[in-house]
Structure 1
Amino acid sequence: MPKGEFGVAEFLSDHGVLIFFDQEAVLTADGYITKPDREAVLYPQDAIEAFDWTGIDIRKESQGPDRTPSTVQYRTIETMVAEEDWEVVIDDDGAGEMADVVLLRRADDELHVLMVHCKYSSEDTPGARLKDIYEVCGQALKSHRARSIIELVIGKLLRREKKRQEAGKNGFIVGDSDALTSIINQARYLRPRVTIAIVQPGMSRAALSPEMAEVLGATERYLHDTYGSTLRVIASV
């Protein structure tokens, strides 16, 4: 095998893998299936946010380097940038991403981090399709370590951005490398407040099914109980 490459078996042996099933069951790296002895928690329907997707093709996820306005990611960024006075907003979409979008701001002794995972709809209109939320919930669960290693997360963002700029691209929507470096240098002295957002315009808030509410509830509980992170769920009306 060429230098620097390794097989799947070797990777799994070294790093392990977690597989999440229904009702909070988890297949751990050592081959055990664990399931909490507790009732499932349903994500509250009224906690789901509905963005305005007018003019957006909900089947097109990434805005791409041209920042196409009719995409899910573009509208998500547009809406979230208007919510707070963010110091840094970066489009990190791509292989090895931390999230599709990462937003950062300092407030007193806290560092607020919003990691956003977007997913396109499988159909033209919103509905109650369980498959539309499985993958994006999985992406959210991969972000759970962000709260415990926030300096590494932000440092990786900077390294990825440097590579983008070397290729003639730019991921910054708000801020620049200097602003991101300033946050990195201060991060260890700030209390992290990490929010994970999942965005799926193919999910209708009004049509939320019990099965979907259970998947979202399990995702929220895992993120909160394990690392104290907050979950935002963004859908259609």
Structure 2
Amino acid sequence: MRGQENSEFKTIGYSSSSKVWSNYSAKITEFLAWCDVLSVKINSTDEIRTYTEIDRINFRKVVDKIPLNPIFAVWPSEFFKNNLQYYFESGTTKIEGSIIDLDIKINSGTNNKIEFEVTSQFLSQKMTFDLDHFFKNSGADILWLIDQESGEMVTLADYLNEFPLLFYFQDFTSLRLNEVSSRVAREYALINPDKIETIDWSDTDITAEFDGNKAGKKHIHEKLEEVLNLRAPQILIYDHGSGETADYVLFCEKTDIIEVELYHCKGAGGAKPGSRVGDFYEVCGQSVKSSMYTNVNALKKKLKWRLNSVTTSKFIIGDMTTLNNLYSKNKMFQFKIFAVQPGLSKVDIDSKINELLSATESYIEQGDQLKFRILCSA
């Protein structure tokens, strides 16, 4: 790496094993002085901007207080790789399934503790996180994970203390155990207008995501499905529900690529829906979580499990034979994640919502092949 220090050009080398070097001859006393200078730089907490791709690297720091305003949490990558199974028993109720099909709901957060639930339609495991004890069960019932190698059952709390959740906060900083990582650096905290697409929602009850719509009006899922059908995709899957891949997953084959689009919907929650930041925390959180499925193998495994095991997951267009045929083609898969919020107007975006959408875009688009879009009103 080449740079300037005190108007003098210097070159320094570094390796993944944390070795640092520079090629020149010097006395031992000069070498020790150079090490002292490096030590100060390495331990410095000052923000350093290089105006290169290096600025996109996240650096973690140890904290003694939990950041305020947690908005969602993500399962550790080990859960997705190993498709860990859970067992839950409460009274006469006994449930088994894949742990990544359960949702994580944040109930409250302070500088000292985060209270959350691991939930589905059929179960709820209350838990807490703090910097002294990390993860603990706080409810009477216990959610168990089944170790794939030994077959032994381990409490979810014990497992999370080894493979912790990743908590995200309003400014998109993240926390894993006692280490905080700042959001990806951006020159401007505004969403790129080119990432915002619009459709006409005039025939839709924008407060109703999938049911409870007013007479004569469609709910959001119904309207979106109608729009996606017009795209004439080879595959359209409805996967709404706890642990979903996305509300809708679309596959559209082009000449050189196969487009895969994941749509996450959220109804507007008030009289002035476009200014309600709370309407966007959930849909942005879902968008970030689904980035785990933006490689073919992970998506294939997830959709197969959902379509075979979840009664509400189904093909709207196509079938498993057609889907497997697309997987087998020698074409690049290009992924897009859509946050669908008809209560948002493209021409009038609240500043806090704009910053949240910008942070979501920044997180998702760290990879070259993954794109984030917003689908809203004109």
TM over 0.5: yes
**Which structure 2 residues correspond to residues 183-198 of structure 1 after superposition, within 5 A?**
183-186=326-329, 189-198=330-339
- Is residue 78 of structure 1 aligned with residue 226 of structure 2? yes
- The residue aligned with 1:19 is 167
Distance in 2 separating the partners of 1:40 and 1:24: 15
- Is residue 62 of structure 1 aligned with residue 210 of structure 2? yes
- The residue aligned with 2:286 is 139
Instruction: Tell me which amino acid in the other structure corresponds to 2:338.
Output: A
- Is residue 207 of structure 1 aligned with residue 348 of structure 2? yes
**Which structure 2 residues correspond to residues 44-63 of structure 1 after superposition, within 5 A?**
44-45=192-193, 47-62=195-210
Stretches of structure 1 lacking an aligned partner (at least 5 in a row) = none
Instruction: Determine if contact 1:195/1:232 at 8 Å carries over to the other structure.
Output: yes
Instruction: Determine if contact 1:63/1:74 at 8 Å carries over to the other structure.
Output: no
- The residue aligned with 2:265 is 118
Q: CA-atom RMSD, angstroms? A: 2.7
User: Structure 1 residues 11 and 140 mapped into 2: Cα distance closer, same or farther (>3 Å)?
Assistant: farther
- Aligned residue pairs total 226
Instruction: Determine if contact 1:90/1:172 at 8 Å carries over to the other structure.
Output: yes
Instruction: Determine if contact 1:110/1:191 at 8 Å carries over to the other structure.
Output: yes
Secondary structure at the aligned position of 2:328 is classed as helix
User: CA offset at residue 155 of structure 1?
Assistant: 3.3
- The residue aligned with 1:176 is 319
Cα deviation 1:181-205 (Å, max 9, x = unaligned) = 222334xx43221000000112222
Instruction: Tell me which amino acid in the other structure corresponds to 1:160.
Output: R
Cα deviation 1:121-155 (Å, max 9, x = unaligned) = 102554221111111000000011222x3223123
User: CA offset at residue 85 of structure 1?
Assistant: 3.3
Secondary structure at the aligned position of 2:282 is classed as helix
User: CA offset at residue 109 of structure 1?
Assistant: 4.1
Instruction: Tell me which amino acid in the other structure corresponds to 1:74.
Output: E
Instruction: Determine if contact 1:158/1:181 at 8 Å carries over to the other structure.
Output: no
Instruction: Determine if contact 2:292/2:298 at 8 Å carries over to the other structure.
Output: no
After TM superposition, the structure 1 stretch with the greater mean CA deviation from structure 2, 205-214 or 16-25, is 16-25
Distance in 2 separating the partners of 1:52 and 1:72: 11
**Which structure 2 residues correspond to residues 97-112 of structure 1 after superposition, within 5 A?**
97-112=244-259
Secondary structure at the aligned position of 2:366 is classed as helix
Instruction: Determine if contact 1:61/1:73 at 8 Å carries over to the other structure.
Output: yes
Instruction: Tell me which amino acid in the other structure corresponds to 2:180.
Output: I
Secondary structure at the aligned position of 1:136 is classed as helix
Secondary structure at the aligned position of 2:333 is classed as strand
User: Structure 1 residues 11 and 59 mapped into 2: Cα distance closer, same or farther (>3 Å)?
Assistant: farther
Instruction: Determine if contact 1:104/1:114 at 8 Å carries over to the other structure.
Output: yes
Cα deviation 1:94-121 (Å, max 9, x = unaligned) = 1221000000123244221100000011
Distance in 1 separating the partners of 2:305 and 2:358: 34
Distance in 1 separating the partners of 2:322 and 2:355: 39
Instruction: Tell me which amino acid in the other structure corresponds to 1:130.
Output: V
Instruction: Tell me which amino acid in the other structure corresponds to 1:175.
Output: G
Instruction: Determine if contact 1:128/1:204 at 8 Å carries over to the other structure.
Output: no
After TM superposition, the structure 1 stretch with the greater mean CA deviation from structure 2, 112-121 or 170-179, is 170-179
Q: Which has the larger radius of gyration?
A: 2
Distance in 1 separating the partners of 2:315 and 2:209: 18
Cα deviation 1:11-57 (Å, max 9, x = unaligned) = 42354222222444221x24211114554431034642222112211
After TM superposition, the structure 1 stretch with the greater mean CA deviation from structure 2, 153-162 or 72-81, is 153-162
- The residue aligned with 1:90 is 237
Instruction: Determine if contact 1:92/1:171 at 8 Å carries over to the other structure.
Output: yes
Residue identity (%)? 30
- Given the alignment, which residue of 295, 298, 305 partners 1:159? 305
Question: Which has the higher relative contact order, 1 or 2, with Cα contacts under 8 A spaced 6 or more apart?
Answer: 1
Stretches of structure 2 lacking an aligned partner (at least 5 in a row) = 1-87, 97-142, 145-154
Distance in 2 separating the partners of 1:11 and 1:90: 32
Instruction: Determine if contact 2:257/2:331 at 8 Å carries over to the other structure.
Output: yes
Instruction: Tell me which amino acid in the other structure corresponds to 1:110.
Output: I
Distance in 1 separating the partners of 2:185 and 2:251: 37
